[in-house]
Structure formats: structure tokens, C-alpha cells
Structure 1
Amino acid sequence: MSNKKRNKILPPQIPEILDILEPFVNIQDEDFISMGIIPNCSIENEAAERVILKQIVFKNVIFKEVSFKFFDLTDVKFENCDLSNADLSGAILHRVEMINCKIMGINLSESTLHNVTFDNCNGRYAFFRFSHCKRVSFKNSLLHSIDFQQSRFSEVEFSHSNLQQAELSGTSLNGIDLSSCEIEGIGVRIEDLSGAMVSPMQAVSLSKLLGLIVKYD
């Protein structure tokens, strides 16, 4: 099976025409919200758990001081949104895209991500610890100091992204291609790197983990 076929990520299945929905106000636990677009608004100080979102587009939405734990998102797209510091811990994301979004400090710990794309996102200090990521792509994104400790990766792609100071200890990078990314100061264990794909320059930098001293003539 080729890498291209193996790593194909399914996009959200969203109708071309959607009704405009009102922003979340007094959202309740276990609500079900589907088939609509929520544009150009701010959602503030809302908290709920185990809400199901299906075939929803958020466009130019600011999420401020929100706690949406254990949300179930299927066929959802975020465009030009700000989810900085949003608490989505324990969430399930399936066929989800975040495009041109700010996700600084977002909490996706203990979450499950399947067929998810992050494209041109600012994810500094994002928290993915103990997450399970299958067919997830991070493209052209700022992931400085992101926390992926003790996570499980399957068919995960990092492309042209900044992973400097990222924490990946306890997460196997077997089969993960980091060669197009900046990885200075990355936090990993030696055993985590087994099978990872890196550039020659990155290999020299990572040799410090082995206690090697690279000598140049």
C-alpha cells in the first residue's frame, strides 16, 4: 500500500448550501446541532458537555472562555476562527478541518482525532496530551511548544510546520516524516524516535540525545 493512499484524509462531508444558525447561547449538555453555518460572531463564556455537532461550518468565529468537554464533532469545518484556550478535552473529531485558525493553548487532551486537518494554524502551546490521532495532518502551522506527550499516532503528517520545543515524550514517531519541519529543542526519548524520518541536518541535531559529539574537519 502506498503512502499516498494510506495517508489519505477524508474531508468533511458538508452540503454546499446551509442555513445560517444562531451562535451558541445557553447551550446545554447533550444538545444536538446540525446542518448549518455559524458566521462572523463571538461565542463567549459558554460551557457544556457531550454536545453533538454534525455538518456545521464555523466562519470567522471567536470562541472566548468556552468549555466544551467531550464534544462529538463530525463533518465540521472551522475557517478563520479563534479557538485559543478553548477547552475541548475528551472531544471526538471525525472529518474535521481547521483552516487559518488560531488554536493557541487549545486543550484537546484525551481527545480522539480521525481524519482531521489543521492547515495554516497557530497552535503554540496547544495541549494534545494523551490524544489518539489517526489520519491527522498538520500543514504550514506554528506548533511551537505544542504538547503531544503520551499520545498515539497512526498515519499522522507534519508538513512544513514549526515544532520547535514541542513535547512528544512517550509518543512513538515511527513512520512520521519530520524532514520538512523545524524541530529544534523537541522533547523526545531516544526510543520515541525509532523509525522517524528526518533530514540529515535534523539527524545531526538529534544525535545529542545519544550523547554523540559530531566532529567537523
Structure 2
Amino acid sequence: MNDPKIPATLDPQRFMAVTRAEDNLLAQVKLQQETITDQSLDRVMFDQTTLTGMTLMADTISRLELTDVVLKNCTLVNCDLAGASFFRTTFQNCKLVGTTLDRNILKEVTFTDCDLSLTNFNETKLTDVVCQRSKMTELNCLDSTLKKVQMVDCDLNEADFSDTSLNKLDLSTCQFDTLRATEFDLHGCRLNETQAAYFASQFLGIHLA
């Protein structure tokens, strides 16, 4: 896992400047404290950039690409970011409630202290992705590919991982009362005793005394 490569000096810029930039690319800039709502954008790219205190609500951004990007205290609510690519990107204390990240490619991405409730990661490829101390309730991650994914101390209540292999994924530090996954999906997944008892009840009808 490599951290984003951010230059020591970044030029301030406005988010919508990306529509006037060559190839819709903003590089080595910092974006701060803006609210962007109900925009429909295509082919937006950020490289070696920081976003702080940004709010995006009900925006549709097709083919979004983030490379070496840090997002801090940002709100991306009910956005459609399907088909995006994130590479060496970190989300810190960000809110992505109800956002669509279907058919995305995430590589070397970290979510720390984030709210990913009701977020969709369907048909998404996640490689070297870390989720820690994050709320992921009612998250949908259907028919996705997880490779070297870590989930540490996350709330996964009512998350749905149907048709997604959780092999080698360690959920033992996470919390949930209900989690949707098949017995086949869970093969090779690491669970704590409480979680194992829950799935034993679900799949085998076994109830521990």
C-alpha cells in the first residue's frame, strides 16, 4: 500500500475549473470549502490534488479519475460516480452516504473514519483497499472482486456482499447484527466467535448454548 504522492506546494483552484482545463484534468492543486450540486460532468480527472471540506450533492460524474488524491472532511452524498477509477487515494472523515460507486476500479485506496452507509460498490474491483473505523451500514457490494482488502473496526450492519467472495477477508474486528452473504461467499473469511455463531445459525440452524 502506497500513500498518495502529494507535492509540498499546491496551487488553489476551483472545482469547476476542471471543465475548462485541457483534457478535463486538474493536477497539483488544492480545492477547499466549495459546494457543488446537481452537476452532470464527464471525464473528470484529478492528479496530485487535495480536496478539503468539499461538498458534492446529487452530482453525476462519469469516468471520474483520481490519482494521488487526498480527500479530508468532504461530503459526497447521493452522487453517481459509477465507472470511476481511484488510484492511491485516501478518504479521511468523509461522508459518502448513498453514493454510487458501481463498476469502479479502486487500487491502493484508504477510507478512515468515513460514513459509507447505503453506498453501492456493485461490480467493483477493490485491490489493496483499507476501510478502518468507518460506518458501512446497508452498504451494497454485490458481484465484486476483493483482493488484499482490509476492514478494521467497521460497522457492517445490514451490509450485502452477495456473490462477492470474502476469501481471506478478516471481519473479526467489525460489528454487525445482520450481514448478507452466502455460505460460499464466506469461504475462507476470518470471523470472531460471535460472527461465526451468527452464520452457523443462518446456514446450519445451529444455536450455541
TM-score in terms of structure 1 length? 0.92
Structure 2: tracts of 5 or more residues without a match: none
Q: Hey, what does 1:21 align to over in structure 2?
A: 13
RMSD: 1.5
Q: Does 1:112 align with 2:105?
A: yes
Residue 214 (structure 1) shift: 1.7
Q: Hey, what does 1:66 align to over in structure 2?
A: 59
Question: After superposition, what is the alpha-carbon deviation per residue over 1:26-60, rounded to whole angstroms, capped at 9, x for unaligned?
Answer: 83795111110001111222221222211111100
Q: Aligned partners of 1:64, 1:144: CA distance in 2, in Å?
A: 20
SS of the equivalent of 2:29 reads: strand
SS of the equivalent of 1:191 reads: coil
Task: Give the aligned residue type for 1:154.
Answer: K
Q: Aligned partners of 1:73, 1:169: CA distance in 2, in Å?
A: 27
Q: Aligned partners of 1:209, 1:111: CA distance in 2, in Å?
A: 31
Q: Aligned partners of 1:215, 1:140: CA distance in 2, in Å?
A: 29
Distance 1:195 1:26, change over 3 A: closer
Q: Hey, what does 1:4 align to over in structure 2?
A: none
- Percent identity of the aligned residues? 26
Across the two proteins, how many residue pairs are aligned to each other? Answer: 208
SS of the equivalent of 2:16 reads: coil
Identify the match of residue 175 of structure 1 among 168, 176, 179: 168
Residue 65 (structure 1) shift: 2.2
TM-score in terms of structure 2 length? 0.95
Identify the match of residue 3 of structure 2 among 11, 15, 28: 11
SS of the equivalent of 1:153 reads: strand
Residue 201 (structure 1) shift: 1.2
- Structure 1 runs (4+) greater than 3 angstroms displaced: none
Residue 215 (structure 1) shift: 4.1
Q: Hey, what does 2:50 align to over in structure 1?
A: 57
Structure 1: tracts of 5 or more residues without a match: 1-8
Residue 211 (structure 1) shift: 2.5
